[in-house]
Amino acid sequence: MPEIQELLQLKDLWDEQEARSLGTNQLALLRYRSNLLGSDLRITNFGGGNTSSKFELPDPFTGKPVRVLAVKGSGGDIGSITESGFAILYLHRLEQLKSLYRGEAYEDEMVRYYPLSAFGDNKVAASIDTPLHAFLPFDHVDHLHPDWAIALAASANGKNKLEEFNRQFGRKIIWLPWQRPGFELAIQLDRAVAENRGAEGIILGGHGLFTWGNTQRECYLNSIGTIDQMGEFVAQRQEKKRTLFGGPVCAPASDRGEIAIKILPTLRGAVSSNRCVIAHYTDHEDALAFANSVWAEELSALGTSCPDHFLRTRVCPMLVPFKPETEDANTLKTRIHDQIAKYRVEYTNYYDSFATNDSPKLRDTNPSVVLIPGLGLFGFGKNKKEARITTEFFINAIHVMAGANALEDGSSTDRLPQARTAEQSKEFTQFHNYVALPRSEAFRIEYWALEEAKLQRMPPEAEFSRKIVLVVGGASGIGREVALQLAKRGAHVVVADYDGAGAEGSAKEAAALSSAAHVAHTRTDLSKAESLANAVNFTIAQFGGVDCVVNTAAIYPVPGGGGELSEA
């Protein structure tokens, strides 16, 4: 492996003393390496990518050493994974599966053999990426989704730019065209490494990055060093670009936070037609740069490229046209209803175009990501954490599009490097060097039976998991107990009280029963209409709306004839 002289974008977080404290426990060292890689969203997104190690353990049947593969279990997150989160399998049994493989059309049937290959009493569900790690002839392997690497993977000139990268940094990273994750891709990875002796990593077209090493430390250094160099490669070319995404069509609205609060209940209601969702809003500078740009509409229509991205962001976001300089929140509300109706029709057509008799049922025709010029990015999910992660994923996708834009050099090709054949190349779509997966491939992943099985393994949702409750008088007594009970049952709770410190205390207790992301607190004065309005707006800003108000403060404001609260 090459020695990386200096990191410019990332940091080497490896602590040799901590690593030594783990001794020769390879599973503990794998967990340590994984947590370091997962701590930086530039390296991989939440729940994305996977890591593995091959080592010996005593066979529970014979007591003799046997080679095993430890790999991140299905649905895990490398940033927070513990040793119990890794699937451990007999390596020789996985190798034997090659002789049972009947070809790409039958690759899904191979998954049923993974539980039969489990080592000892390990019951962690093995992911579809298990054979990808098993067949690579290296002891330690990382499969990651760094934005800079995916920018190369999703560029129309990506393969040529990778060759340019290799020349600039003296590397040997090889290119592999798009192939859906699974057994066939594992076979292709094995073949690619055999045909390219001395390879240091692989870029998967339209997907991500594979790196490896002979030791835990070597693998970690190869991963962060390669990603750092790719970051430098992209950054150098971004500096030469005068504009991003074709330049802005509008400036960020100065009152964007206030407008967001005004339209969030409408927007949340629109995307909750199938089932209620929780919102997360961000005016992150990268989200604004994208939403405000000339190319936002075209790039949004293409959607994301990396499979891990669109499993959360759906096949594409919904862009709501808005001119913040001349239009108001009421106009925007009307446009939201217009756009959501259009989006549902288009999504239904997408599903109907590719669904077969064996496809899982259509889950939801609503978007999980909404972009609004001047305001930024809105994400939706079953809870606050999921909504926030969804926005993070789309910001990752924005970085990928920006990177592909930066790599654009005016060159053209008759066949996109993501495609394995000239005929397949026609199915991909591109805009200004950014290449999106064919809709057919996107559907095969979004509605993959194996992904559906993963969803079915998820624990059932709590009783009030998708509900937002404002508890007034929640600092003590009945109000405090109501807040605790609601939190315990999964609700998103805002504790409001004249006693601000008491509200904070109750909120901390409630968060301990659910999640800190699901609970907030604010001071409010029931005798003042403005203070009550502020509490409601605070709740909307936190979670997207208000489903229920519980007033235990023994003070009941009486509305006037028009429904407005007075100061009486």
- Largest distance between two CA atoms of the chain: 83
Owner of token pair 């990593």: 201
> Residue 220 has what pLDDT?
97
In-domain check, residue 264: yes
Q: Are residues 335 and 452 in the same domain?
A: yes
CA 163 – CA 173 distance, rounded (Å):
8
Choose among 262, 332, 252: nearest CA to 288.
Answer: 252
Q: Are residues 120 and 205 in the same domain?
A: yes
> Residue 1 has what pLDDT?
62
Listed in sequence order, the residues at least 6 apart from 331 whose beta carbon sits closer than 8 Å to its beta carbon are 322
Mean pLDDT (whole number) for 290-294: 96
Mean pLDDT (whole number) for 274-296: 96
- pLDDT (tens digit, 9 = 90+) per residue, 331-355? 999 999 999 999 999 999 999 999 9
Sign of the alpha-carbon torsion through 57, 75, 221, 435: positive
In-domain check, residue 195: yes
Choose among 376, 294, 374, 369: nearest CA to 327.
Answer: 374
In-domain check, residue 251: no
Contact yes or no for 463/376 (Cβ under 8 A):
no
Residue 568 has pLDDT above 60, yes or no: no
Q: Are residues 169 and 292 in the same domain?
A: no
> Residue 555 has what pLDDT?
72
How many domains does the structure of the chain reveal? 3
In-domain check, residue 11: no
Mean pLDDT (whole number) for 239-246: 87
Report the relative pairing of strands 519-523 and 50-58 from DSSP bridges.
unpaired
Residue that finishes a domain, picked among 413, 429, 456: 456
Per the prediction, the chain carries an average pLDDT of 92
CA 19 – CA 16 distance, rounded (Å):
5
Q: Are residues 72 and 107 in the same domain?
A: yes
Residue 500, domain CATH: 3.40.50.720
> Residue 300 has what pLDDT?
94
pLDDT band at 313 (very low <50, low <70, confident <90, very high): confident
- pLDDT (tens digit, 9 = 90+) per residue, 248-274? 999 999 999 999 999 999 999 999 999
Tell me which of 557 and 374 has the higher pLDDT.
Answer: 374
Q: Which of 46-50, 179-183, 457-461 has the highest mean pLDDT?
A: 179-183
Q: Are residues 321 and 421 in the same domain?
A: yes
Owner of token pair 């009947």: 102
Task: Report the 10 Å Cβ neighbour count for 425.
Answer: 18
Provide DSSP, 435-468: EEPPHHHHHHHHT-HHHHHHHHTSPPPPTTTT-E
Task: Report the 10 Å Cβ neighbour count for 201.
Answer: 21
Both tokens assigned to 271: 């995307």
Which phi and psi (to 5°) does residue 407 adopt?
-85, -10
Which phi and psi (to 5°) does residue 451 adopt?
-70, -35
Mean pLDDT (whole number) for 83-106: 96
Task: Report the 10 Å Cβ neighbour count for 191.
Answer: 12
pLDDT band at 447 (very low <50, low <70, confident <90, very high): confident
Q: Are residues 420 and 514 in the same domain?
A: no
Residue 147, domain CATH: 3.40.225.10
Tell me which of 421 and 56 has the higher pLDDT.
Answer: 56
Task: Report the 10 Å Cβ neighbour count for 253.
Answer: 22
> Residue 567 has what pLDDT?
59
Q: Are residues 295 and 443 in the same domain?
A: yes
Helix/strand/coil for 291: helix
Range of the domain at 134: 16-238
Q: Is 21 exposed, middle or buried (0-12, 13-18, 19+ CB in 10 A)?
A: exposed
- pLDDT (tens digit, 9 = 90+) per residue, 127-159? 999 999 999 999 999 999 999 999 999 999 999
- pLDDT (tens digit, 9 = 90+) per residue, 4-60? 667 888 999 999 999 999 999 999 999 999 999 999 988 988 878 899 999 999 999
Q: Are residues 166 and 293 in the same domain?
A: no
Mean pLDDT (whole number) for 103-123: 94
CA distances (Å), origin 334, targets 60, 292, 343, 347, 495: 65, 20, 15, 20, 32
Residue that finishes a domain, picked among 430, 456, 482: 456
Residue 324 has pLDDT above 70, yes or no: yes
> Residue 137 has what pLDDT?
96
CA 93 – CA 70 distance, rounded (Å):
13
- pLDDT (tens digit, 9 = 90+) per residue, 554-567? 676 666 666 665 65
Q: Are residues 79 and 175 in the same domain?
A: yes
In-domain check, residue 246: no
In-domain check, residue 247: no
> Residue 564 has what pLDDT?
66
Owner of token pair 């629109």: 270
Mean pLDDT (whole number) for 99-123: 94
> Residue 459 has what pLDDT?
79
> Residue 413 has what pLDDT?
79
- HSE, side-chain direction, 13 A CA sphere, residue 305: 38
CA 192 – CA 137 distance, rounded (Å):
11
Helix/strand/coil for 54: strand
Q: Are residues 186 and 317 in the same domain?
A: no
Q: Are residues 353 and 472 in the same domain?
A: no
In-domain check, residue 249: no
Q: Are residues 419 and 499 in the same domain?
A: no
Choose among 282, 368, 373: nearest CA to 332.
Answer: 373
> Residue 205 has what pLDDT?
95
Residue 322 has pLDDT above 70, yes or no: yes
CA 102 – CA 110 distance, rounded (Å):
9
- From edge to edge, which strands make up the β-sheet containing 318-319? 278-282, 376-381, 369-372, 318-319
In-domain check, residue 462: no
Mean pLDDT (whole number) for 532-554: 93
Choose among 298, 239, 553: nearest CA to 433.
Answer: 298
pLDDT band at 222 (very low <50, low <70, confident <90, very high): very high
Owner of token pair 């979670």: 543
Residue 284, domain CATH: 3.40.225
Mean pLDDT (whole number) for 495-501: 96
